[in-house]
Amino acid sequence: MSEDYDVHIIGGGLAGSEAAWQLARRGFKVRLSEMRGSGDTTPAHQTDGLAELVCSNSFRSDDAENNAVGLLHQEMRSLGSLVMAAAEIAKVPAGSALAVDRDLFSETVTKELENIGNIDIVRERIDEIPADVPVIIATGPLTATNLANNIMAKTGEDRLAFFDAIAPIVYHDSIDLDVAWYASRWDKGDGKDYINCPMDEAQYRAFHQALLDAEKTEFKEWEMNTPYFEGCMPIEVMAARGLDTLRFGPMKPVGLDNPKTGRWMHAVVQLRQDNKQGTLWNMVGFQTKMKHAAQVELFRTIPGLEKAEFARLGGLHRNTFIRSPILLDRQLRLKTAPNIRFAGQITGCEGYVESNAVGLMAGLMTAADLGGTRIEQPPSTTALGALLGHITGDAHADDYQPMNVNFGLFAPLEEKTHKKQRKAAITARARADLAEWIGRYKLAI
């Protein structure tokens, strides 16, 4: 083992940053390697900040009573999550969701990791997995080619990739609020969390056809057979599935009364606040692989966005993950090389919150190993336990695909419960079981 550090973490995204925090605050020395800032970058990142958010600025629902991801938020807070604390500092209005100013969020995480004292943040690209020290690989969906090849060699896998797409961001002062209006679906939030751009049937049909006809990014030869993740499907791919697919997805009008008519429109494009100042708004669900010029031309046909100026246009990037259910043990360790743990999206979880949760657990489990003890996974009745169980053995390996946390992953309730009380019963059980688990392993700091 190196005399300079106890653990080598590769990747300074959400999972790597959280794992480093959990280890450092328990007294262990960490080398955190991040290739951004060393002269290398990825197709999607724009800065060298740690925990940079490259797709949405939303951590999704913060409702711990009725939503599995909201419950996961609460569970991570109870374990002293750095990412959840930073999200609270950088929070922007988003109804019942937790959304952040992405620059302030990354700056907060970076500053905390720099100041904690026993984390050495090294701007370097790692091409081979170290063999003589505990390692956490948290390189996320954009793992560099050389390291991805090294991972494939270690795991015996021949393919680790699928595609993920990024949504555009619009400057607020370029949105026509004489046409668009502020409102959250079903009037949740404070009434100004989303901007809604209405479409009648003729406008929607024209927009749908234009999506199908727009010029798309061409695939490279090695990308041809890479599938999409269903939860981050490019809007034009959704459009190709049928005329009304978008109206039941990101453009659904239900719960949004147009103040000019008092009725629901045929379709609605929603924008969500992207920074604290409210100057940037992202197009919800509008991740795309259209070419930039085609995006500008088409999105300016949306009512209210005729003069839209874009801070960022949509893009396409490769995602990378391993077949965790057969490769990892219940401790997130590579079965063939137990000194190596995987964390974050590379394990096949999907979403910022899930990535961070797996990083948190990788940090806690590694800290236990270094301290000569062992932490079992949280119970499958909790959000953390349900997510980890799915990743490390409960999912079908042959068709393993990225998964967001959801109540379907939780252990079923033992007692019969009315449908309306089911979520409340699941969350009450989860809180009690996680509190017992935290107490058993003395994880509260």
Residues annotated within the binding site for FAD are 11-16
Backbone conformation region of residue 191, classed left if phi is above 0, alpha if psi is from -120 to 50, else beta: left
Q: Which backbone phi and psi does 99 adopt, to 5 degrees?
A: -120, 155
Contact indicator for 354, 72 with CB cutoff of 8 Å: yes
29/132 Cα distance (integer angstroms): 15
Nearest to 179 by CA among 309, 304, 305: 304
Rounded CA separation 358/141 (Å): 14
Per-residue burial over 42-76, b = 16 or more CB atoms within 10 Å of its CB, e = otherwise: bebbeebbbbbbbbbbbbbbbbbeebbbbbbbbbb
Give the 3-state secondary structure of 2-34.
Answer: CCCCCEEEECCCHHHHHHHHHHHCCCCCEEEEE
Residue 237, exposed/middle/buried by CB under 10 A (0-12, 13-18, 19+)? middle
Alpha carbon distance 342, 358 (integer Å): 9
Please give the full DSSP string across 383-440, using - where no structure is assigned.
HHHHHHHIIIIIS-STT---B---GGGSPPPSS---HHHHHHHHHHHHHHHHHHHHHH
Q: Known binding site: residues?
A: 11-16
Closest CA to 267 of 283, 288, 245: 245
Residues 142/42, Cβ–Cβ less than 8 Å? yes
**The dihedral of CA 105, 268, 354, 227: what is its sign?**
negative
Closest CA to 345 of 8, 54, 13, 7: 13
